[in-house]
Amino acid sequence: MSLWQAGAEHELEITGLNHAGAGVGRIDGRVVFVPDSLPGERVRIRITETKKRYGTGTLLQVLDAAPERIEPTCPHAQFCGGCQFQHLDYEAQLKWKGLSVQDALERIGGLDLSVKPTVGMARPYEYRNNTQHAVGRQAGHMVMGFFRKGSHDIVDVSTCELQHPLATQLALNLKDLVRVLNIEPYDRKGHTGVLRHAVIRVSFAVEELMLVLVTRTPELPNQAELIERLTDEIPQLVSIAHNVNPRPGSTVMGRETKVIWGKPYLVESIGDLRYAISPASFFQVNSKQTKVLYDLVKAKLPLSGKETVLDLYCGAGTIGLYLAADAGRIIGVETAKSAVLDAEKNAELNRITNAEFRLGRAEDELPRLLQEYKEIDAVILDPPRRGCDPSLLAELIAAEIPRIVYVSCNPATLARDLAILTEGGYSPGTVQPVDMFPWTSHVECGVLMSRV
């Protein structure tokens, strides 16, 4: 067997971690990515995939362990793809997140910026308010859980220490009922079957649950009985929605969502504000750290009560409304209709009268807003992982907006976009990473860009 082919076994040193948290080593000059390994470790691996210049491997044995290595507490850690850092001490995770942000800024953006220590959680467990449980059939059995590392096979999880215990309870009860009521699990290979995903959302403020059942087919069989039994068993379940996703592929939710039982939304609190979130709207997954993030935006953007502030990519209006008491006017822009409706509802819920929300793409709405409001004092950017459209950045630069706060969940696109803004005449402040996603390789950042 060639040494550079799937199945070959090797011993090697791990010298770094890539952006996805996998260990990086070398075999004969080629790079190998080894999930679950750590820098400074000597490991034995089996190659699983090879390309010309790089490959991936599975960790077989740690021969020399790094001092930051810990024993995972999760029984599914070895296979479940939900976490990347179950084997890494929490303090070391925070340190790595700061370094990986610094690295992305330098490597991708050519920026040498001051990156503050990552703000972590005092108790980095049971923090997720939203988990997406994949449903499928494997070896003739119905399974429900999270995707296996590097695959779309499902790890049939019994517990997850990242999610609220009520979500774990609901997932277990639902799994039983799906079996008992013979609701056919989705088959990802053949694109047949019915139930694809169960999305569970929790309000930490009031301990209520929302369940979104995603099916391939327009109908959810045995719907009435499922609802009756589940809501009987889990009194905290206050809202059930049905989403139809008829397309093959890995996108979880389809376009159509209908509330089929209970309340149309969950209400979560961040600081003094209450936010209604409907099934298809984005909400930050870590309610506790969201307060840290939004306070950070507030601190980076002191306001006098007079400013016009744009909240672009506003989701359910959450950041803009958080700042509304300090601003003259908030205008949010968002592409998801349900989120815009939630944002309007959230303004009402919090008796905020100086905020309005527009449905549309930020890059399309910005030129109109610049026409309409001659003085825009500050802009908040909180785009999805792909970052901002270049035309939006060009408009902001041309309009010479005095202050921009960029909130990002992807250091790579943050680096790219900050480089464009810097080139366009903005001076970056310090970058503050916030750990919204303990035990994973993901990190959120906030940074103020000031017009020079």
3-state helix, strand, coil in the chain (%, to 5): 25, 35, 40
Please say which residue, 282 or 437, places its beta carbon nearer to ligand SAM. Answer: 282
Please say which residue, 14 or 321, places its beta carbon nearer to ligand SAM. Answer: 321
d(CA 238, CA 187): 29
Q: Which of 382, 417, 435, 444 binds ligand SAM (CB under 6 A)?
A: 382
d(CA 152, CA 136): 10
Binding footprint of ligand SAM, residue count (CB under 6 A): 20
Please say which residue, 148 or 291, places its beta carbon nearer to ligand SAM. Answer: 291
442 by DSSP, 3-state: which? coil
Q: Which of 43, 101, 339, 445 binds ligand SAM (CB under 6 A)?
A: 339
Task: State in angstroms the smallest separation of the CB of 7 from ligand SAM.
Answer: 40
Contacts (CB under 6 A) with ligand SAM, residues 267-326? 282-284, 313-315, 318-319
Please say which residue, 16 or 384, places its beta carbon nearer to ligand SAM. Answer: 384
The upper half-sphere exposure of residue 47, i.e. CA atoms within 13 Å in the direction of its Cβ, equals 23
Task: State in angstroms the smallest separation of the CB of 309 from ligand SAM.
Answer: 13
Which amino acid, residue 112? D
Neighbours of 375 (CB within 10 A): 10
Task: State in angstroms the smallest separation of the CB of 447 from ligand SAM.
Answer: 15
Q: Which of 273, 306, 305, 307 is nearest to 290 (CA)?
A: 273
Please say which residue, 127 or 283, places its beta carbon nearer to ligand SAM. Answer: 283
Contact in structure between 431 and 445 (CB atoms under 8 Å): yes
Q: Which of 172, 205, 303, 336 binds ligand SAM (CB under 6 A)?
A: 336
| Residues annotated as catalytic (active site), given as ranges | 409
d(CA 227, CA 223): 6
**Strands, E assignment, 180-221:** 195-203, 208-215
Please say which residue, 315 or 433, places its beta carbon nearer to ligand SAM. Answer: 315
| 404 part of the interface to ligand SAM, by CB under 6 A | no
Please say which residue, 244 or 339, places its beta carbon nearer to ligand SAM. Answer: 339
Four-CA torsion 330, 307, 411, 36, nearest 10 degrees = -60
Residue 286 CB partners (closer than 8 Å, separation 6+)? 121, 127, 128, 129, 436, 437
Give the residue at shortest CB distance from ligand SAM.
315
Contacts (CB under 6 A) with ligand SAM, residues 361-380? 361-363
Four-CA torsion 129, 20, 118, 304, nearest 10 degrees = -70
Q: How far is CA 244 from CA 16, 64, 132, 189, in A?
A: 42, 49, 15, 18
d(CA 414, CA 406): 8
Please say which residue, 10 or 329, places its beta carbon nearer to ligand SAM. Answer: 329
411 by DSSP, 3-state: which? helix
Contact in structure between 198 and 213 (CB atoms under 8 Å): yes
* Site stretch for ligand SAM (CB under 6 A), options 61-69, 129-137, 178-186, 329-337: 329-337
DSSP H stretches of helix in 71-164: 90-109
Sites of contact with ligand SAM (CB under 6 A): 282-284, 313-315, 318-319, 333-336, 339, 361-363, 382-384, 409
